[in-house]
Structure 1
């Protein structure tokens, strides 16, 4: 039954695309431009560098700089601290990819990889500053509270969910020591890292184009479906933020909505995450529930902040 429903949905989507070629073209073009102008130049350098750090063994330099603090706060292993750094600083889906890569490479356990995924796959500070604060909210005064709330929300959720992964351990331990850099590495290593980075980018771009097409098709429907306008922003975070801004909501409603959507990341980011972690065998449903919890937390914190500042 479920298989038939999925097949029917795909056929239905195909028929809708056939009768709406203009909307399909517009959505695909918008998604491609978003990928080419924003995702490719911002994500590729981080993908390449993190891959090189893993391949050459220089990950231990990052662990040495931040590991002591992060292991105490998050109970992760020294190798796991590398996943925390990339997940909070590099943006979707780098946290998911790093957690999966560390697990598959044997640096951390599967339980720690799932724990990292639960809170270390977030919007980057660059995206928060440029797209959330300056373009969507257009209020410089909200820069610091927005950064703090969006970084703090997944951390707060992790404090409540960590025991499920730790199983009464004090902290996770390294499965593989990473004490020194690789003695000899060649341009072949760089070539492999570049190819892996572009494979990731192509997959991310494919999902962005797909969800942009879906968003455009829903917007071009000849009938008004009740509640659809409120759900469309959930498809893709960048386009969703544009939709929220165009709704002209009062700040007391817009700010919590923007924080919630940015923290959740949209279903497009969830699909990208599933693509990144399937090699490690991580289930996607727990991740979605934890992201929703972080989104609710961010929205509540944003609402409380506006109440406090008047």
Structure 2
């Protein structure tokens, strides 16, 4: 109650201070705004907009319902979310933030998941895309493609651990029913074939209920995606200007000093303070600073800092997700806590696995693996992302099939 009373005046005071700083430093504000606009236009728009449109069209055609039924044996026991969450996880991991949040909000709007399931889902499907992690971070900022392996293991491994931990969130809350259980199974049909039939029926029923033509689905998908990508761009520009203003006011340097002192107390290099403070606000700035940190800083500390920043996501991503979740009933606080836990887990995994992974044969094998080399230099390639999406969905379907067969074997 107290926070609600003082939160409004503090926010108004902060915005008024930003306005004053913009009047004092108009040139720097304009340069920062143009820099944020360039990041949005050159990186975010071409990489995110196609996935926004594709995901909207898949929802219209019932593809999400198809994969939801097929992936239920995998997602429900592990993460306590319906099978449609498996599709959201694959899309979120391949295309990066905030696609997972967008799809989660869509599932919630269609009542395909409950509020608690939506909070579980968005908590572990918000991640960096592998093209950015392997290309921009490993090659562009750290100048070493082999480091992509340890970053990927720590970041995505930490995300899966967050998903398992989030299954404890709202344990007593009601769950959405498994369609393959509630639907009748045809006589002389195995449960595996029955699930496939149910999945196809769910897809057909979702397409029938939607009722829009191909042209209408595409038009609506483009309109909705344009609205969201413009919001994302506005937030990127806003935080770019905000960080510039904080730097001009001397606030950022004070934060560097404070965080550097805290890092020294826990045994980390204080030179990483700039990376962590920058990453608190914006991912790209933070991981770039981690890669450019002083050579005296041990490399495994730099990688751990980058893993934490990638998993935290930055306030810019948090604001994007909060704007998407607004009106869906999904709460922001569980998401924020999950991001912090993800960051700590990813940094811990990077430090624990540094010697066995970076110092072993895995790095040499990774460096000579053709797909790794192509991903590290592919930039924001839509084709590479779609290949990864197909690979993830195939692996998830295979695991779901194995779990279904094991369940049938135990019952038999």
Query: Which blocks of at least 5 consecutive residues in structure 2 are unaligned?
Result: 1-5, 183-200, 260-273, 360-412
Aligned 8 A contact 1:166 1:172 in 2: no
Q: In the alignment, does 2:268 pair up with 1:240? A: no
Aligned 8 A contact 2:121 2:163 in 1: no
Query: Secondary structure of the residue that 1:188 maps to in structure 2?
Result: helix
CA distance in 2, matches of 1:29, 1:35: 10
> TM-score with structure 1 length normalisation?
0.91
Q: In the alignment, does 2:347 pair up with 1:299? A: yes
- Following superposition, the deviation at residue 134 of structure 1 comes to 1.3
Q: In the alignment, does 2:55 pair up with 1:50? A: yes
- Following superposition, the deviation at residue 278 of structure 1 comes to 0.8
Q: In the alignment, does 2:307 pair up with 1:259? A: yes
CA distance in 2, matches of 1:168, 1:297: 26
Query: Which blocks of at least 5 consecutive residues in structure 1 are unaligned?
Result: none
Q: Please give the residue correspondences for 1:208-223 in structure 2 after superposition, counting only pairs within 5 Å.
A: 208-221=236-249
- Following superposition, the deviation at residue 264 of structure 1 comes to 0.8
Select 1:227's aligned residue among 258, 270, 277. 258
- Following superposition, the deviation at residue 174 of structure 1 comes to 5.1
Q: Please give the residue correspondences for 1:140-179 in structure 2 after superposition, counting only pairs within 5 Å.
A: 140-167=145-172, 172-173=176-177, 178-179=202-203
The Cα offsets for residues 123-151 of structure 1, whole Å up to 9 and x where unpaired, read as: 11112111221112222222222212211
Q: In the alignment, does 2:118 pair up with 1:113? A: yes
Query: Secondary structure of the residue that 1:281 maps to in structure 2?
Result: coil
Query: Secondary structure of the residue that 1:178 maps to in structure 2?
Result: helix
> TM-score with structure 2 length normalisation?
0.70
Name the stretch that deviates more: 260-269 or 141-150: 141-150
Q: How many positions carry a matched residue from both structures?
A: 309
Aligned 8 A contact 1:233 1:244 in 2: no
CA distance in 2, matches of 1:9, 1:304: 40
Name the stretch that deviates more: 217-226 or 146-155: 217-226
Select 1:7's aligned residue among 3, 12, 19. 12
Relative to structure 1, is the Cα distance of residues 138 and 71 closer, same or farther in structure 2, using a 3 angstrom cutoff?
Answer: farther
**What is the Cα-based RMSD across aligned positions, in Å?**
2.3
- Following superposition, the deviation at residue 163 of structure 1 comes to 2.1
Select 2:318's aligned residue among 260, 265, 270. 270
Relative to structure 1, is the Cα distance of residues 47 and 168 closer, same or farther in structure 2, using a 3 angstrom cutoff?
Answer: closer
Higher radius of gyration, 1 or 2: 2
The aligned counterpart of 2:42 is 37
Select 2:225's aligned residue among 197, 200, 224. 197
